[in-house]
Amino acid sequence: MVKPMDYRLVMFVLTGLVISGAHTRDYHFVSIPLNWTEAQIFCRDIYTDLVTIENTEEITAVLDTTSDYTGQAWIGLSDDLENGWRWSLSNSIFYSQDERQFKNWDYGYPLGGPNRCVELFGDVIAQGKWGDAGCDSKRPFVCYSDLNDTSFVKIEQPLNWTDAQKYCRKNYVDLASVRSNAENAIIANLTSGDSVWIGLFWDKVWSDGSTSLFRHWAEGESNSSVEECVTTAFSDVGLWSGENCSLSFPFVCYTADLPNAENFMLTQKNTTSITLQWDRVSSADAFVLQYDDMEINITASYGEGPMTYTVSFLTAGTDYEFTLFSEFQGYRSSGVNINAATDKIPVHVVRLNMMVTSLVQLSQTDLDHHLEKLVGLHGLSPKVLSIKVKSDSP
């Protein structure tokens, strides 16, 4: 007769999750001279777009794309006749689509060229109509204020457009945006005969829609007076200059960061296999899973729910680092990592006291038989156990 008095199961499970990521953008120098529009088409075809440069690190990265060219190359900045006019207050939730497009040009305006800032006329004949003028001219101006009930505030002191913008941003919200005839009438009513700056200005736009205001102009280039496209020099610290868009230059394209898969995690594991799961990435056509110097290509499947993949033939009780990359046409995302360990082969420590009712010597077979029954009672399979019995005293 066997009576379990005490038993203990000990299991070791190790799981560690570490997620990290970094951003990289790939730049590609294309040495074929094309006009700006052709270059844009080429970049959008083969890569993501003509390059957008938003800081000095990116200038360096662009210059590093080639070492054997010292001329000019197109970048993604150009005058865009459709979208060149922009509001100083760029917050997109402030406008509906129609409101952003609202214009009230006077006859014969906009003049274009170097006239890149917009005034609202205050004289009787053209009152409330708009015209474009040089940004360096000084005018009274109208700020937008969301304080109190007053939406618009006229500032009498004439400033150039950039100083007026600074003043409004410091003391109110921004230079006035005009979204409708109603708002235009309110501002027209404030002018008292003066022409005033409002928040509309012309600026070159980035091919990929970036609203970055970072500029790296060569001296005398910033207020060029014709519709132009922009080149970077591959000498001279990469300074920018405007050129006629129909000229042919080499150019620089970029490939956007491919997003990493989100929610990369372990969902199941045992002693020999680990099942991983991650969210689909709409712009990826494949995933690459790296571990232990191995690479597995996983084709992106379509449909609902997360992607899963089971890695088999692993070693029990071992910690693995998995890195998952999204891929699109051979370009990889920066990758996300997790660490996950296979289960250890479980260790069960069973201690029992047995009371022997008669002085019959138990054989090893009897002992094994009783022990197997015992572990069976606790839901374990005796077949996989190696049972070792050590008696303390007779």
Ligand X SMILES: *[C@@H]1O[C@H](CO)[C@@H](O)[C@H](O)[C@H]1NC(C)=O
Binding site for ligand X (CB under 6 A): 35-38, 135-136, 145, 147-148, 150, 160-163, 185-186, 189, 220, 223, 226-227, 244-246, 268, 270-273, 275, 295, 297, 310
Q: How far is the CB of 376 from ligand X (least distance, A)?
A: 19
Q: Which residue number, 212 or 268, has a Cβ lying nearer to ligand X?
A: 268
Asked if residue 284 lies in contact with residue 325, where contact means CB atoms within 8 angstroms, the answer is no
- What one-character DSSP code corresponds to residue 234? S
Q: How far is the CB of 73 from ligand X (least distance, A)?
A: 16
**Secondary structure percentages of the chain, helix, strand, coil, to 5:** 15, 30, 50
Kindly tell me the burial class for residue 380, based on how many C-beta atoms sit within 10 Å of its own C-beta (0-12, 13-18, 19 or more): middle
Provide CB contacts within 8 A for 160, sequence distance 6+.
Answer: 135, 136, 137, 138
Q: How far is the CB of 35 from ligand X (least distance, A)?
A: 4
Q: Please tell me the distance from the alpha carbon of residue 264 to that of residue 365, in angstroms, as a whole number.
A: 50
Q: Please tell me the distance from the alpha carbon of residue 72 to that of residue 66, in angstroms, as a whole number.
A: 12
Q: Which residue number, 4 or 84, has a Cβ lying nearer to ligand X?
A: 84
Q: Please tell me the distance from the alpha carbon of residue 195 to that of residue 189, in angstroms, as a whole number.
A: 11
Joined tokens for residue 178: 């005009």
Residue nearest to ligand X (CB): 246
Q: Please tell me the distance from the alpha carbon of residue 222 to that of residue 78, in angstroms, as a whole number.
A: 12
Residue entry with tokens 């299991």: 11
Q: What is the Cβ-side half-sphere exposure of residue 51, based on CA atoms within 13 angstroms? A: 28
SS3 assignment, position 152? strand
Q: How far is the CB of 346 from ligand X (least distance, A)?
A: 11
Count of beta carbons in the 10 Å neighbourhood of residue 4: 15
Q: Which residue number, 70 or 157, has a Cβ lying nearer to ligand X?
A: 157
Q: Which residue number, 275 or 318, has a Cβ lying nearer to ligand X?
A: 275
Residue entry with tokens 């009672």: 377
Q: Which residue number, 331 or 354, has a Cβ lying nearer to ligand X?
A: 331
Residue entry with tokens 């094309």: 34
Q: Which residue number, 29 or 74, has a Cβ lying nearer to ligand X?
A: 74
Q: How far is the CB of 204 from ligand X (least distance, A)?
A: 14
Q: How far is the CB of 225 from ligand X (least distance, A)?
A: 8
Q: Which residue number, 56 or 329, has a Cβ lying nearer to ligand X?
A: 329
Q: Which residue number, 268 or 283, has a Cβ lying nearer to ligand X?
A: 268
Q: How far is the CB of 54 from ligand X (least distance, A)?
A: 22
Joined tokens for residue 252: 């620089």
Q: How far is the CB of 207 from ligand X (least distance, A)?
A: 13
